[in-house]
Amino acid sequence: MSEQKASQNYSFQAEVAQLLHLVTHSLYSNPEIFLRELISNASDACDKLRFEGINHPEFYEDDADLHVRVSLDKEQKTITISDNGIGLTAQEAIENLGTIAKSGTKDFMSKLTGDQKSDAQLIGQFGVGFYSGFIVADKITVESRRAGVATSEGVRWISGGTGEFEVEQIEKASRGTDIILHLREDKLDYLESYKVKQIINKYSDHISLPIQMQKEVWQQEEAAEGEEPKAGQYVKTDEWEAVNSASALWTRNKNDVTEEQYVEFYKNLTHDYEAPLAWAHNRVEGNTEYTQLLYIPSKAPQDIFTREAKAGIKLYVKRVFIMDDADNLIPNYLRFVQGVVDSADLPLNVSRELLQESRDVKTIREGNARRILTVIDGLAKSEDEKDQEKFKQFYAEFGAVLKEGLGEDFGNRERILKILRFATSNNDEISTSLADYKARMKEGQKAIYYVTADSLAAAKNSPQLEVFKKKGIEVLLMADRVDEWAMNFVHEFDGTPMQSVSKGAVDLGDLQDAEEKKALEKAAEDFKPVVEKLSDSLKDKTKEVRVTTRLVDSPACLVTSEGELSPQLLRMLKQAGQAVPESKPILEINPEHPLVKKLDSSEQFDDLANVIFDQAVIAEGGLPEDPAAYVKRINSLLLK
């Protein structure tokens, strides 16, 4: 035997210790999840071996049938979960079982609701599944040997789940990991094989790896002549049999998979504790062959709008796990989609770089995008009330993300536009589709009008809307951050132009009668001197001053030239630290407004001009460039 190093003691990272306390003191109401978590780790370990085995076939040693074994020992009061996967080195055991690499723990702690059931579900979501073993065990022994490492270099890790753990080097013949749980006295029912089988079926049936338990046979002793027959019992044999169906769920025929199985697979895949809103499962044939199983979650992750947000697609090649978060398989604007893609055409050693260039990957990405959009559209169109509810929830969670697709995925722009819903000047609810809007357009109306602002309230009260309200023309209200940017890419829907009411001059076309047009011309003529004076006063702030009919109650408003960035978008970009082109807005004045009428004769022309301009800035959600000067001017005007 090789020399054995003495065992060494280590302390858990403070966060782990805190977590362990929590696990053992408040998650005891749903203890059975420990099996799901440990089996999922074992299955991950086998996936990792398959992956490393591509370049290192020697890692398989003589033991290529990957499996998980669950064994029960009533005498020792232990339940052992063994795998012949990748295994752990001593260093890996210390690092991976003693610290929490992800910063998720704090998040985890803050999310706890006190409801044990949902709290217990959270534990898996935050990558702390291993510690769930301590819900049922007061001591855990881990024995492991890393693939490719000498049998003398195994490791034993022991902890009682409080502050410390102990690590020593051991001799271990078999590759992989045994997790030995020494059950708490009140958890001995997990030694009953029927119960363990039940739990495996419930949580882990779809795991693509066989999960085996020892086969048991019924044994009954012959009773002697004249005696009562003796009670029989199940006795374990040396044979192992799979207790799960062990076929990767996505490889099964749709008709053979139940709704519960789809949901359970999703939960396992994502560690989401809520069921998904919808899913699509298809085998796609043609030049590129692949299977897609794609899910739409019911909630958006918190980081959905940050740069770190990752696509949740796992890539398999012929059932071999290749990588997580394969973001080339789904366009960025659908990054909320979770699931599995299994390709028959990609090479097993495909890298992220290769993925970027592959034509097959491009085909898969497009296929995935189309499929998801079809699923969403199906929900939107469905008459079923449940689907309607789902669509609403989908839209509230992911509508804004989806809009990014208008700028990213030109091929699907029309499809995306059909799915979008808006609040309008007539209806606060975000429920009007572009088709609905078109159906309600007034006679003579030639465009779909919309306004973008920082909030729905600001959009609704925007001065640019006044003439539309007066004439009873519906205007779409948009207040998502992405709207302004996304709408830059949209010029029409179904043959009807889309027109921002704050860009360019309002052209109401036939909605404006001859008299109104004449009145505008006359006002422009009458106000020529005032407009000139204003242009002069405000020459640093505006590009142009002109008379408008779009206003009813407001003295003035800002508009942007067609094709230029609006003040809101400029503000947003500036806040995000981006360099923005200097661009000045156009000031439009309302010749009917008393303040504007007063301008010409005002002794404080310059003050009034600047106040009118600053108010227009405020009305569309901005701040005067020099707030103190603004206040001073107002006060001075008030005093007069």
Residue 104 is labelled as binding a ligand: yes
Handedness of CA 360, 363, 367, 368 (dihedral sign): positive
Contact indicator for 194, 175 with CB cutoff of 8 Å: no
Q: How many CA atoms lie within 13 A of 160 on its CB side?
A: 4
- Report d(CA 275, CA 280) in Å as an integer: 14
142: enclosing H helix or E strand: strand 137-145
Among 96, 298, 461, 535, binds ligand ADP (CB under 6 A): 96
Binding-residue total with ligand ADP (CB under 6 A): 17
128 lies in the site for ligand ADP, by CB under 6 A = yes
Among 32, 47, 83, 409, binds ligand ADP (CB under 6 A): 83
- Report d(CA 69, CA 179) in Å as an integer: 10
404: enclosing H helix or E strand: helix 385-408
> Per the structure block, which two tokens stand in for 98?
């003693």
Contact indicator for 469, 506 with CB cutoff of 8 Å: no
Residue 548 is labelled as binding a ligand: no
Contact indicator for 177, 155 with CB cutoff of 8 Å: no
What φ, ψ does residue 21 adopt, rounded to 5°?
Answer: -60, -45
Least distance (Å) between residue 482 CB and Mg ion: 35
Q: Considering only residues 127-156, where is the footprint of Mg ion by CB under 5 A?
A: 129
- Cβ distance to Mg ion smaller for residue 130 or 468: 130
Contact region with ligand ADP (CB under 6 A), list: 128-136, 242-250, 386-394, 525-533: 128-136
Least distance (Å) between residue 143 CB and ligand ADP: 11
Among 177, 358, 424, 537, binds ligand ADP (CB under 6 A): 177
Residue 103 is labelled as binding a ligand: yes
Burial of 209 (0-12, 13-18, 19+ CB in 10 A): buried
Among 16, 20, 42, 183, binds ligand ADP (CB under 6 A): 42
Angle between helices 528-537 and 514-526 (to 10 degrees): 60
- Cβ distance to Mg ion smaller for residue 14 or 101: 101
> Per the structure block, which two tokens stand in for 557?
């408003």
> Per the structure block, which two tokens stand in for 415?
């499809």
140: enclosing H helix or E strand: strand 137-145
Residue 59 is labelled as binding a ligand: no
Least distance (Å) between residue 19 CB and ligand ADP: 10
- Report d(CA 427, CA 67) in Å as an integer: 58
Which entry of ligand ADP, Mg ion, none binds 42, CB below 5 to 8 A by partner kind?
ligand ADP
Contact region with ligand ADP (CB under 6 A), list: 80-88, 151-159, 256-264, 306-314: 80-88
Residue 251 is labelled as binding a ligand: no
Residues 33-62: x where in contact with Mg ion by CB under 5 A, - otherwise, as a string: --------x---------------------
Residue among 494, 509, 374 nearest 439 (CA):
494
Least distance (Å) between residue 42 CB and ligand ADP: 5
Contact region with ligand ADP (CB under 6 A), list: 82-90, 419-427, 552-560, 617-625: 82-90
Contact indicator for 116, 8 with CB cutoff of 8 Å: no
Residue 288 is labelled as binding a ligand: no
Among 127, 160, 163, 621, binds ligand ADP (CB under 6 A): 127
- Cβ distance to ligand ADP smaller for residue 94 or 304: 94
129 lies in the site for ligand ADP, by CB under 6 A = yes
121 lies in the site for Mg ion, by CB under 5 A = no
Number of CB atoms found within 10 A of residue 381's CB: 14
Which entry of ligand ADP, Mg ion, none binds 164, CB below 5 to 8 A by partner kind?
none
- Report d(CA 520, CA 408) in Å as an integer: 41
What φ, ψ does residue 616 adopt, rounded to 5°?
Answer: -65, -35
- Cβ distance to ligand ADP smaller for residue 42 or 249: 42
Strand order in the sheet with 544-547: 544-547, 586-589, 556-559
556 lies in the site for ligand ADP, by CB under 6 A = no
Residues 320-349: x where in contact with Mg ion by CB under 5 A, - otherwise, as a string: ------------------------------
607 lies in the site for ligand ADP, by CB under 6 A = no
> Per the structure block, which two tokens stand in for 222?
């012959």
612 lies in the site for ligand ADP, by CB under 6 A = no
Residue 128 is labelled as binding a ligand: yes
What φ, ψ does residue 552 adopt, rounded to 5°?
Answer: -120, -55
> Please, what's the b/e burial string for 390-411 (b: 16 or more CB within 10 A of its CB; e: otherwise)?
bbbebbebbbbbbbbbbbbbee
105 lies in the site for ligand ADP, by CB under 6 A = no
- Report d(CA 376, CA 389) in Å as an integer: 12
> Per the structure block, which two tokens stand in for 424?
């309008």
Burial of 571 (0-12, 13-18, 19+ CB in 10 A): middle
- Cβ distance to ligand ADP smaller for residue 105 or 502: 105
45 lies in the site for ligand ADP, by CB under 6 A = yes
Contact region with ligand ADP (CB under 6 A), list: 78-86, 114-122, 186-194, 551-559: 78-86
Which entry of ligand ADP, Mg ion, none binds 88, CB below 5 to 8 A by partner kind?
ligand ADP
Binding positions for ligand ADP, rule: CB under 6 A: 37, 41-42, 44-45, 83, 85-88, 96-97, 127-130, 177
Q: Which residues are annotated as a binding site?
A: 37, 41, 83, 96, 102-104, 125-130, 177, 352
Binding positions for Mg ion, rule: CB under 5 A: 41, 129
Q: Which residues are annotated as a binding site for ATP?
A: 37, 41, 83, 96, 102-104, 125-130, 177, 352
